[in-house]
Chain A
């Protein structure tokens, strides 16, 4: 793995943060959100700020931009110095001038950061009109020039496009163009690629790097993804609970972390090396999907419309105790397959056999008795539990539907809480009293309460922090071993798939492009799309958990005959 090794000791210091303290507005005695942060970024340097959610990464960036939410947070000590200019005591007018000229920011979700009713070119031009004396023609020329620099195709057309007409990657390019059009000294990127697919993410990371080299911008890059850090960082600061626990050049941090927390964080990062293959059980498949087809829309009431072919001819099966992963980018149809199998939507073709029963064509009523055989865990732990129900009530809902007496269901619920390592007295609490990881445990307990043969996990760990993610994956593994459940694991994250799956199905645009044992598919992909997915996975050559390079980098030397 190639890390950046540039030396910045001679470069001028762009940002200097000293003992920065941010706390709740008007409550100087309350616990601080940032507890005295020191940070230095030099010209041309990429400094990554990593940490789990709630560690204060974004607050640091907002404080630097002077954008802390008014009446909620305020700077309570320390200084932020941007090339000699003290930001903490700047007036609004000064900050406004500063924000465009010398610091710029790009956000996670470009759709919400752009104005949906203005053409994107005009939005870039607006920045120029506000802050420079360029004439209309010059401003437009400069806009087209920067759009060209961020490699947007057909800039004349895109200049007059609206945000919704562009793809996520293109929108992020527009954001970058807008941020860099005035050639700022510091670019703050707050999770700029988190909402993007891996292949797009790679392009955007490359673009930021290229723009940085061209303009000599210092970049403060905020992310939770260690892979991204390994790809782009010169130096890294690890944040935990409002403090920077460790700050070091990238290679040092990844090979020889000094702090326990950094170690813990790195150990939790799954690597791209597939798990050791498990013995193939000679049992009949629990789930058998044959030629599954799903077209959304399709038949109009008055006129037939085309419809969207979200899944075509998908075929696979899963044996008891094994895990099959479906991987692919957004829009590949992986969630559609999961929802068809769960019969949350009705497939338009093909067969789904669960525990010996063909379910794809059963009516709602006919299906009801079979529901207990297959359960699902959703992505968003904040929405998958009814906020008005106690945990106990959620856990008992399924068993009671299938005739278990209430007292028995309650007893079982208490056992389940132990199974997922939560205290049994938590049964009387409401979901909002739990963290995301705990809620996901509850959701798993709710699914397991039905004693299913098949568990579908639809991006079940994607919304969780990496250390929590590792715990939940362990829990799923544990549950699977104990009950011999077959698992269908939907994910966009190849690392997670490598860690948990026996078999992998790769989907692109609704079709299966490659499937087979995880080891074969991930280390020796045959299809171009699989290869591009693996190659785009950031930091894929590094084994974070063992602080060294992967002995055999997966893919790359694929069958490029």
Chain B
């Protein structure tokens, strides 16, 4: 967007400028560890197909419920499938759902929120629809949406997205409502800037910082909701392993094969813990008002 020569600013300075970050912003030790753990989990999941020893779907009646060994790192499940392969491949889908739901709900919420915040005529109608969506419990709504669209990956992402959108809309709308009263926005009106230009160039950048924070929380909760949906049998079909449906299947074998729940559960918890920790860090950096006073 900025074509005006900007030579004396590095990309980092421009980024911190856009997010109104203090120049001295630094990552603490806790968040750094969280970032490291998260990066390892993400890389391990993304590149899982390259290194997992077995096809996660290949059943083998000869090797059911094997204990961990050199052959099967974490043992096998009741159908003789390698748990390690399944958990790593399953992470791919779980993370995809988390990131996908976060991106889609932030994008959709941003557009609706901008419109609601800027056009007073649209505001009343949009916000009442959002209120009614928020009145329905998220899980219930998600189950209904999956039931409606069938248990595919896309429909699960949509099912998780829809209940999250109103929250994003409200956030964006509130930012726009306060930003549009800023004199620089009024100056832009006086300078004859068109409504779309004001909306996109002046108002939208104000929403980025809170949206990054909100996005991380949605990502974490989406991974969790996917697991819940799978556990309830309303998630992605069992042909695609996810942390959620691996745990769901392992439920009845918990007594003899706790690893079926333990390993995907551990990765899921770690993942959510790290994402939330990074979200908190982002919030502290981007919104100094929320930060606890030091000392």
Contacts and interface: CB of A to CB of B under 8 A. Distances in A.
Interface of A: 70-71, 342, 344, 364, 368-369, 371-372, 374-376, 378-380, 383-388, 390, 392-393, 396-398, 401-402, 406, 410, 428, 430, 443, 446-447, 450
Given A383-B183, A392-B4, A71 B295 contact: yes
Question: How extensive is the interface on chain B, given as a class?
Answer: 20 to 34
A428 B187 contact: no
A388 B18 contact: yes
Interface stretch (B51-59, B94-102, B190-198): B190-198
Nearest to B124: A301
Which label, helix, strand, loop or mixed, suits the secondary structure of the A interface?
mixed
Interface stretch (B5-13, B36-44, B84-92): B5-13
B295 A398 contact: no
Given A344-B190, A374-B190, 20 more contacts: A70-B295, A71-B295, A344-B186, A368-B194, A378-B183, A384-B183, A384-B184, A384-B187, A388-B20, A390-B2, A390-B4, A393-B4, A397-B191, A397-B193, A398-B192, A401-B197, A402-B192, A446-B187, A446-B191, A447-B190
Nearest to A368: B192
B188 interface: yes
10 contacts: A378-B187, A384-B187, A390-B6, A397-B188, A398-B193, A401-B197, A410-B4, A428-B7, A430-B17, A450-B191
Interface in B254-295: 294-295
A390 B9 CA distance: 11
B190 A371 contact: yes
B294 to A, nearest CB: 7
By Cβ-Cβ distance, the 5 closest A-B pairs, closest first, are A398-B191, A371-B192, A384-B183, A378-B183, A401-B192
Contacts of A71: 294-295
A235 B187 CA distance: 44
Given A71-B295, A344-B186, A378-B186, A406 B191 contact: no
A372 to B, nearest CB: 6
B208 to A, nearest CB: 10
Interface string B180-210: 0011101111111111010000100100000
Nearest to A385: B184
B3 interface: yes
Nearest to A377: B187
A43 B188 CA distance: 54
Interface in B201-250: 202, 205
A509 B20 CA distance: 40
B191 to A, nearest CB: 4
Contacts of B182: 383
Secondary structure type dominating chain B contacts: loop
B23 to A, nearest CB: 10
Contacts of B9: 428
Contacts of B202: 386
A71 to B, nearest CB: 5
Given A70-B295, A384-B183, A386-B184, A342 B190 contact: yes
A269 B9 CA distance: 40
A410 to B, nearest CB: 7
Nearest to B191: A398
Nearest to A406: B3
B20 A387 contact: yes
A369 B9 CA distance: 35
B295 to A, nearest CB: 5
B11 to A, nearest CB: 15
Contact of B4 (A374, A375, A379, A396): A396
A368 B191 CA distance: 9
A555 to B, nearest CB: 34
Nearest to A383: B183
Contacts of B4: 390, 392-393, 396, 410, 428
Contacts of B192: 368-369, 371-372, 398, 401-402
Indicate the member of A70, A364, A379, A387 with the most B CB atoms within 10 Å: A387
A365 to B, nearest CB: 9
A467 B236 CA distance: 69
A83 B182 CA distance: 48
Nearest to A450: B191
Contacts of B5: 428
Nearest to A372: B192
Contact of A388 (B17, B187, B194, B294): B17
A376 B192 CA distance: 12
B130 to A, nearest CB: 20
B183 A380 contact: yes
Contacts of A402: 192
A428 B192 CA distance: 23
A548 to B, nearest CB: 39
A401 B189 CA distance: 11
A443 B183 CA distance: 11
Contact of B6 (A364, A428, A447): A428
Contacts of A396: 4
Nearest to A456: B190
Contacts of B294: 71
A101 B192 CA distance: 58
Contacts of A369: 192
Contacts of A364: 195
A77 B193 CA distance: 55
Contact of A344 (B7, B189, B195): B189
Contacts of B184: 383-387
Contacts of B195: 364
A299 B8 CA distance: 53
Nearest to A382: B183
A368 B8 CA distance: 35
B120 to A, nearest CB: 12
